[in-house]
Amino acid sequence: MGPRITNVAPHTRTMQPRNFNNPRVSNNPRVGPNVYAGRPNFNANFRRHDVNMRRNTYVRPAPRPYVRAPYVYGGHRYYAYHPYHYHHYVPFGFGVGFYPFGAFVGTLAATAVLVPWLDYPYYYSAGVWYLPGDTGYTVVTAPVGATVAALPPGATLVDPATSTYYYGGTYYQPAGGGWVVVAPRAGIIVEYLPQGGQEVTIGNQTYVRIGDTFYQPVAIDGRNMYEVVEVR
């Protein structure tokens, strides 16, 4: 029996690329209805059209052996360093200008920059990644391997050994004077997850899935947090 996924996003249409040499850019972003406006602990409905949500985030292996036995279910093993400690997935808002996965905007801020990657015309602004569609832009998971000039404001160091920073569900490492999007490494602990994840019930444990990354709810010093899980 495979995993049971709750809160699955509605069907989306294939992206119809626009002429991204002439982007629709404005100093005053105009967003679609019901889009998150910049506060933590929220609920929102999203217009998921014009573009497929590209699920391209995977997990790099853990840096050291696990001392805990994995959780085994459905032919897979779910490895984590910390004990499973369920707490309800409550999406967090990451500040002004941040939009969660699946949000639709009609125009981009003037600070948005074009970051072409693997033949897709991504746009980036304040830690948020967009792909254009027929009538605007949809927030998507960050493309692993793409590079930006600076970290988004509010990014936090989550893996000192590799100088990995985290912001809004995306991980960055320094590279060539800029910051490259990387896949998370198993065992990384984060406190907050953005909107756009799915609670996935596997056997008698519930994880949060963002892209292809599974997060296990854990408790660290009495605080509810999430650990990146390695699935084998």
> In terms of Cα–Cα distance, which of 150, 152, 174 is closest to 163?
174
Q: What are phi and psi of 22, to 5 degrees?
A: -130, 65
Considering the entire predicted model, what is its pTM? 0.77
DSSP calls for 144-212: TT-EESSPPTT-EEEEGGGTEEEETTEEEEEETTEEEEEPPBTT-EES---TT-EEEEETTEEEEEETT
- At 57 the pLDDT is 56
Structure tokens at 151: 């970290």
**8 and 198 in contact (C-beta within 8 Å)?**
yes
Helix (DSSP H) and strand (DSSP E) numbers for the chain = 0, 19
Tens-binned pLDDT, residue by residue, of the chain (232 aa):
555 444 433 333 333 333 333 343 333 333 333 333 333 333 333 343 333 444 445 799 999 999 999 999 999 999 999 999 999 999 998 888 899 888 999 999 999 999 999 999 999 999 999 999 989 999 998 999 999 999 998 999 999 999 999 999 999 999 999 999 999 999 999 999 998 889 999 999 999 998 889 999 999 999 999 999 999 9
Containing 64, the helix (H) or strand (E) segment is: none
What is the sign of the dihedral through the CA atoms of 93, 37, 108 and 137? positive
